[in-house]
Amino acid sequence: MVEKLLGYLVQYGLPGKIGKVLVLILFLGLPGPSLANATLKIAALGDSLTQGYGLPAPDGLVPQLENWLQAHGESVSILNAGVSGDTTAGGLARVGWTLTADVGALMVELGGNDILRGIAPELARRNLDGILRAARDKRIPVLLIGLTAPGNYGADYKAGFDSIYPALAQKYDTLLFPDYLAPLTKSGPRATVLMRYFQADGIHPNAAGVKVIVKRLGPAVQALIARASGSAPNRP
By annotation, the residues acting in catalysis are 48, 201, 204
Q: Between the CA of residue 191 and those of 109, 196, 200, 202, what are the distances in Å?
A: 25, 9, 12, 10
Q: At what angle do helices 121-137 and 88-98 cross, to 10 degrees?
A: 10
Distance of CA 2 to the CA centre of its chain: 38
Closest to 164 measured CA to CA, from 142, 179, 151: 179
Alpha helices in 74-120 (DSSP H): 88-98, 112-117
The residues with which 40 forms a beta bridge, in sequence order, are 76
Which residues fall within 8 angstroms of residue 80, CB to CB, at 6 or more apart? 44, 50, 51, 52, 60, 62
